[in-house]
C-alpha cells in the first residue's frame, strides 16, 4: 500500500529530526493522505471523530501544525487547507500548483526560481524567508 510506505518514511524522517510521530499525529497524517489533494482542518476533524468518537478542534490543529513543522505537510493559505509533501527529506522549497477546478496538487522544486526571487527582493532590501510558492491554475485533466 502506498500510504503505509509513506508513513514509514515519515516515521524515519521524524526520528532523524528528534521529534515524535505519535499515534494521533500518525492518524491525522493518514487521514490527510487519504485525500488526493487539498484537505481542510475541519474535514480531518470530522474524519477523526468518525474514527475515535470524539475530538475537538485543538486536537487536529495541533497535529496539523506539528506535521507542517516537521515538513510532512504544507499549508495552502489561499484555500485554508493542507496538502501532503511528497518531497520529504529532499530539503526543498516547494513550488505548489493547485488546480482551482478539481483541487489536485502537484509539487515541483522551487529552489532555482526562489534564488532569482531572493536576489530581486534583496535589491529592495527585503530578506525573504524559507517558504513555498503556491500558485493556482488548471491541471492537465481540467484543461479538457
Partner DNA sequence: TTCTCAAATGTTACGGTATAACAAAGTGAT
Partner DNA sequence: ATCACTTTGTTATACCGTAACATTTGAGAA
Q: Which stretch binds a copy of itself (CB under 8 A): 1-9, 14-22, 29-37, 120-128?
A: 120-128
> How many angstroms separate the CA atoms of 76 and 98, rounded?
9
Place of cell 486536537: 59
Q: Are 135 and 99 in contact (CB under 8 A)?
A: no
Q: Which of residues 51-70 bind a copy of itself (CB under 8 A)?
A: none
- For Zn ion, the binding residues (CB under 5 A) are 85, 87, 94, 99, 101-102, 104, 139, 142
> How many angstroms separate the CA atoms of 88 and 107, rounded?
11
Place of cell 494521533: 24
Considering CB distances under 5 to 8 angstroms, the limit depending on partner class, which of a copy of itself, Zn ion, DNA, none binds residue 87?
Zn ion
**Which one, 24 or 108, has the nearer CB to DNA?**
24
Q: Are 68 and 83 in contact (CB under 8 A)?
A: no
Place of cell 475530538: 55
Considering CB distances under 5 to 8 angstroms, the limit depending on partner class, which of DNA, a copy of itself, Zn ion, none binds residue 94?
Zn ion
Considering CB distances under 5 to 8 angstroms, the limit depending on partner class, which of DNA, a copy of itself, Zn ion, none binds residue 106?
a copy of itself
Q: Taking CB under 8 A as the rule, does residue 22 contact a copy of itself?
A: no
**Which one, 69 or 78, has the nearer CB to a copy of itself?**
78
User: Sign of dihedral through CA atoms 89, 133, 127, 118?
Assistant: positive
Q: Are 10 and 19 in contact (CB under 8 A)?
A: no
Q: Which residues bind a copy of itself (CB under 8 A)?
A: 77-78, 95, 97, 99-100, 106, 108, 113, 116-117, 120-121, 124-129, 131, 133, 135-140, 143
Amino acid at each position: 500500500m502506498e500510504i503505509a510506505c509513506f508513513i514509514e518514511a515519515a516515521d524515519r524522517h521524524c526520528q532523524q529530526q528528534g521529534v515524535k510521530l505519535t499515534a494521533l499525529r500518525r492518524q491525522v497524517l493518514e487521514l490527510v493522505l487519504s485525500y488526493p489533494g487539498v484537505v481542510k482542518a475541519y474535514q480531518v476533524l470530522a474524519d477523526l471523530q468518525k474514527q475515535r468518537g470524539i475530538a475537538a478542534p485543538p486536537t487536529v490543529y495541533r497535529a496539523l501544525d506539528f506535521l507542517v513543522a516537521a515538513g510532512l505537510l504544507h499549508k495552502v493559505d489561499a484555500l485554508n487547507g493542507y496538502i501532503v509533501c511528497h518531497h520529504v527529506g529532499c530539503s526543498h522549497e516547494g513550488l505548489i500548483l493547485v488546480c482551482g477546478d478539481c483541487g489536485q496538487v502537484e509539487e515541483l522544486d522551487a529552489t532555482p526560481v526562489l534564488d532569482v526571487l531572493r536576489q530581486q527582493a534583496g535589491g529592495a532590501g527585503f530578506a525573504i524567508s524559507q517558504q513555498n510558492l503556491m500558485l493556482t491554475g488548471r491541471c492537465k485533466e481540467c484543461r479538457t
